[in-house]
C-alpha cells in the first residue's frame, strides 16, 4: 500500500461522508493525521479538481472531478447498466424503493437506488455505505463469501456474526433474505442475490418498504423476477435444483426470520 495514496483516498471518503464543508483542523482530527499532511493532501486534490475550497470559510468540500468519477463508474459498469431499467420497473410495479447492493471490504455499497414515488417511503440508498453485518442485504451478501473470508469476518462473535453463521446454509441455498423491521426499525427489506456468468454472486437487489404496508407475499415474487432478469442479462444460468429449493422456501414459513432481528 502506498501511504500517501491511501491518505488521499481517506480525505475524499471523509469529505463524502460529511453533510457540509470541513476544515483542515477537523479533518486532521478525524483522520488522525498531522495538519500539515492534511493541508498538503488537500492542496494536491484541489489542484486536480477533486476537492474545492470555500474562499470565505477556507473549509473544503468535494470537487466536480469527484462527480465525474462517479458518473464514469455508472456509465462503465455493466451491472449498473443492466440493473437500471429493471430496478425502475420494479419500483414502478411495487411502489417501493429498490436498490442495487454490492459488498467490498466488509462494507455494503449501493451504486444504484431508485426512490419510491409515494409520499411515505423508505429513503433511497444514495452515496451511502454500511458495515455489511449491520444491514439486511449486507448480511445476505456476507453469507455468500468464501469460507476462508467469512471465517475472518465472523471471528468477532458478535450477535450478528452468530446469526449469520446459524443461518448460513439457508442464506446460501435460497440466495434471499426477508427482514421485517429487525435491522432497520419499521422497514421491511426483501433481498435477492444477482449472479454473473459463472453463477457467482456479484450483488443483490434490495426492496425497502414501510413495515405497515409491506406485503411480502406480493413483493417477493417481484424481487425474484427482477433479480433473475438482471442475472440472465449478465449470463447467469439457474440450476433446476436451486429453483426447486427456492420454491420450497417461498411456500414454507421462513426459518431464518430471526436473522434480521439480531443486531
- Mean pLDDT (whole number) for 199-221: 96
Question: 26: which 3 cell numbers?
Answer: 477537523
* Whether residues 81 and 185 fall in one domain: yes
* CA nearest neighbour of 204 among 196, 189, 193, 195: 193
Residues 35 and 94 in one domain: no
Banded pLDDT at 222 (limits 50, 70, 90)? very high
How many domains does the chain divide into? 2
E-strand ranges in the chain read 51-53, 60-62, 97-104, 107-114, 129-131, 176-180, 187-195, 201-210
Could you tell me the CATH number of the domain that includes residue 19? 1.10.10.10
Task: Say yes or no: 121 and 198 in one domain.
Answer: yes
State whether 50 and 115 are in the same domain: no
Cα separation, 234 vs 215, in Å, equals 29
* 92 shares a domain with 62: no
Average pLDDT of the chain to the nearest whole number: 88
The pLDDT of residue 240 is above 60: no
CATH assignment at residue 143: 3.30.450.40
pLDDT above 90 (res 251):
no
If you average pLDDT over residues 160-186, what whole number do you get? 92
Q: Based on the domain organization, do 121 and 186 belong to the same domain?
A: yes
In the chain, the percentage of residues whose pLDDT exceeds 70 is 90
**Model confidence band, residue 95 (pLDDT cutoffs 50, 70, 90):** very high
pLDDT confidence band for 1 (50 / 70 / 90): confident
pTM of the complete model: 0.75
Tell me: pLDDT of 238 over 80: no
- Judgement on whether residues 63 and 92 belong to the same structural domain of the protein: no
The boundaries of the domain holding residue 207 are: 77-261
Amino acid at each position: 500500500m502506498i501511504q500517501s495514496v491511501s491518505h488521499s483516498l481517506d480525505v475524499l471518503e471523509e469529505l463524502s461522508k460529511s453533510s457540509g464543508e470541513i476544515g483542515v483542523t477537523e479533518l486532521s482530527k478525524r483522520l488522525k493525521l498531522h495538519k500539515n499532511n492534511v493541508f498538503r493532501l488537500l492542496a494536491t486534490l484541489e489542484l486536480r479538481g477533486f476537492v474545492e475550497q470555500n474562499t470565505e470559510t477556507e473549509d473544503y468540500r468535494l470537487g466536480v472531478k469527484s462527480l465525474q468519477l462517479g458518473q464514469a463508474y455508472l456509465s462503465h459498469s455493466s451491472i449498473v447498466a443492466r440493473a437500471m431499467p429493471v430496478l425502475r420497473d420494479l419500483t414502478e410495479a411495487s411502489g417501493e424503493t429498490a436498490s442495487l447492493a454490492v459488498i467490498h471490504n466488509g462494507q455494503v455499497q449501493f451504486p444504484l437506488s431508485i426512490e419510491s414515488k409515494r409520499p411515505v417511503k423508505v429513503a433511497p440508498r444514495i452515496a451511502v455505505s454500511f458495515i455489511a453485518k449491520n444491514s439486511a442485504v449486507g448480511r445476505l451478501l456476507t453469507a455468500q463469501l468464501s469460507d476462508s473470508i467469512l471465517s475472518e469476518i465472523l471471528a468477532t462473535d458478535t450477535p450478528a456474526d452468530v446469526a449469520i453463521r446459524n443461518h448460513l446454509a439457508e442464506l446460501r441455498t435460497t440466495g434471499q433474505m426477508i427482514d421485517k423491521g429487525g435491522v432497520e426499525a419499521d422497514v421491511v427489506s426483501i433481498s435477492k442475490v444477482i449472479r454473473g456468468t459463472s453463477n457467482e454472486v456479484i450483488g443483490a437487489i434490495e426492496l425497502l418498504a414501510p413495515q405497515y404496508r409491506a406485503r411480502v407475499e406480493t413483493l417477493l415474487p417481484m424481487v425474484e423476477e427482477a433479480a433473475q432478469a438482471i442475472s440472465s442479462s449478465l449470463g447467469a444460468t439457474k440450476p433446476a435444483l436451486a429453483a426447486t429449493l427456492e420454491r420450497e422456501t417461498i411456500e414454507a414459513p421462513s426459518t431464518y426470520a430471526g436473522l434480521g432481528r439480531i443486531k
